[in-house]
Amino acid sequence: MNRFVLSSLLALLVSFASSAQTTSSYCGTPPGKSEWLQQYQQQPTPVSARSDVFLYIPLTIHIVGTSEGEGYYDLDQLYPSLCTLNEDFAESNIQFYIQGEINYIDNDSYYDHNFSQGSQMMNTYNKPNTVNCYFVDSPAGNCGYYSPWRDAVAISNGCADPDSHTWAHELGHFFSLPHTFSGWEGTDYETNMEVPFFLDNGGEVELKDGSNCAEAGDGFCDTPADYLSFRWGCNGQGQSNVLQRDPTDSTFRSDGRLIMSYAFDGCSERFSEEQTMAMRANILSQRPNLYANPPEPVFLDTAPVAVAPVNGDSIGISTSAVLEWEPLDGAALYSVVISRHFPGIEVLLQAQYFQTTGTSVLVEDLLPSASYRWTVQAYNRYDGCTTASEPAVFSLSDPVFTSTAEAAEAFQLQVYPQPAADGTPVTVEWHLAKAETVQLWLRSAAGQLIRQQQLPGQAGRQRAQLSTAGLPAGLYLLEIRTASGLGAYRKVVVQ
């Protein structure tokens, strides 16, 4: 590296660091236009950028946790956020997929990093020929930023929920877009301020009438004037609530639908046509390595189907349940949500979340006699826009009240002595119509498994003994079940 390059690099880094001090906490991308964009905006749009060729771009996902491996960005957020990202870019005919495995990094100084640590992180972990995206707790105090030097984006987990457009915003920067309020970074527009034709940093202020749109602001003429470098809310038409006044005294409101503005997520939804053309030209002319060999995407058109427990099932007394579903073609990850069910209440209460590549999960610490509702949703590297299975509601019945009279009668189940003194074994007797294996479970009233026995059952009258040695006095629940699914319950009292 010669001295000139080194000193200009240092100058860049210095200006980056100083600008970073003054940006708001939304986006830490250094302000200004890349040399490429400046040239692009001075020349006619290259023909290739106007073509309808579909651009399918690989992302490398880096999920950064603490040094103890905690605080990871949740995959339950990642895939739906990929869906939002692809919706944001759908009009541009640019779509994204996750390439390779997700890269988990455990490092406190990357999890909550300053720009220099972030730069080191990107330098260490960037994968070539993909767009590197780092999900961290705090990317230098911002919601996100694009690093032109490392050519990667960092996004805060807190700004990466599926309703957020931060990911699209930072990828807009990645593909050359400045803010719609370009030039105003670090300058607070105030309602009563007299706006000059030129800002202190030399930037020309974009006029409402569009007469200087090619030179001022972001240099795009289909993104109207915008002076708002802080996060702002919009009205029903997606325009800024703040009424701005340009140097000629014309008043206007900014377009909050534009993702490259600082409007709140609820306003953001699109890139303008000129922004889209610039991004496509940037990819086609500067980043051919990104779309060289696009894979054939696999979309998940249907939702997974629950196998067990299905809607309406009662699975008997237990504090655990195995949730099982049919494998879905093309699925790479299943995301399961189970929550308490109360008829008519839609909020997820006591929800537990699971992710697996398999087709079942074991859920523990359930409340015996409670009802639960569960769904499963499938994702893969191409498709975050999927739907969950139909909710299935099942109950962990209280056997004292729900043991079916019929089953109990068929078993002719007897348990004695009742109550049993501590140390005295409890005798269990039952009747089997045919020879089949029988399982016995003794559980505490809270559902904890105390004893378990499996017996090769013969037809006719059967008997087994359960030790009560060491059991605290109290109520216990005995469950008996045959291989063919017949079951019954009895209370067992230990004194």
Is residue 239 within the footprint of Zn ion (CB under 5 A)? no
Least distance (Å) between residue 75 CB and Zn ion: 26
Stretch that binds Zn ion, among 25-33, 106-114, 241-249, 455-463 (CB under 5 A): 25-33
Of the two residues 153 and 283, which places its CB atom closer to Zn ion in the complex? 153
Stretch that binds Zn ion, among 20-28, 64-72, 389-397, 411-419 (CB under 5 A): 20-28
Least distance (Å) between residue 226 CB and Zn ion: 12
- Cα separation of 432 and 486, whole Å? 10
Dig out the tokens for 347 from the structure: 């909020």
Of the two residues 169 and 341, which places its CB atom closer to Zn ion in the complex? 169
Site for Zn ion in 413-452 (CB under 5 A): none
Q: Indicate the pairing of strand 460-466 with strand 474-482.
A: unpaired
Is residue 254 within the footprint of Zn ion (CB under 5 A)? no
HEC sequence for 164-205: CCHHHHHHHHHCCCCCCCCCCCCCCCCCCCCCCCECCCCCEC
Least distance (Å) between residue 165 CB and Zn ion: 11
Stretch that binds Zn ion, among 24-32, 368-376, 411-419, 468-476 (CB under 5 A): 24-32
By residue count, the chain amounts to 495
Of the two residues 278 and 321, which places its CB atom closer to Zn ion in the complex? 278
- According to CB under 5 A, which one of 20, 27, 63, 306 is a site residue for Zn ion? 27
Dig out the tokens for 333 from the structure: 């990850």
Of the two residues 29 and 380, which places its CB atom closer to Zn ion in the complex? 29
Of the two residues 20 and 27, which places its CB atom closer to Zn ion in the complex? 27
Strand order in the sheet with 474-482: 449-456, 437-444, 474-482, 487-494
Least distance (Å) between residue 371 CB and Zn ion: 47
Of the two residues 27 and 488, which places its CB atom closer to Zn ion in the complex? 27
Residues ≥6 apart with Cβ < 8 Å to 38: 219
- Cα separation of 106 and 236, whole Å? 43
Of the two residues 72 and 167, which places its CB atom closer to Zn ion in the complex? 167
Binding mask 29-58 for Zn ion (x = CB under 5 A): x-----------------------------
When CB distances to Zn ion are compared, the closest residue is 27
Which among 176, 149, 179 has a CA at the least distance from the CA of 35?
176
DSSP string, 448-494: -EEEEEEEE--SEEEEEEE--TTPPSEEEEEEEEETTS-EEEEEEEE
Of the two residues 113 and 373, which places its CB atom closer to Zn ion in the complex? 113
Q: Is-contact 160 73, C-beta < 8 A?
A: yes
Secondary structure of residue 339 in the 3-state scheme: strand
Least distance (Å) between residue 27 CB and Zn ion: 3
Least distance (Å) between residue 332 CB and Zn ion: 31
Of the two residues 27 and 63, which places its CB atom closer to Zn ion in the complex? 27
Stretch that binds Zn ion, among 21-29, 71-79, 277-285, 309-317 (CB under 5 A): 21-29
Output phi, psi for 120, to 5 deg: -65, -45
- Rounded (10°) CA dihedral 273, 279, 284, 289: -150
Least distance (Å) between residue 15 CB and Zn ion: 16
Q: Is-contact 27 20, C-beta < 8 A?
A: no
Q: Which residues bind Zn ion (CB under 5 A)?
A: 27, 29
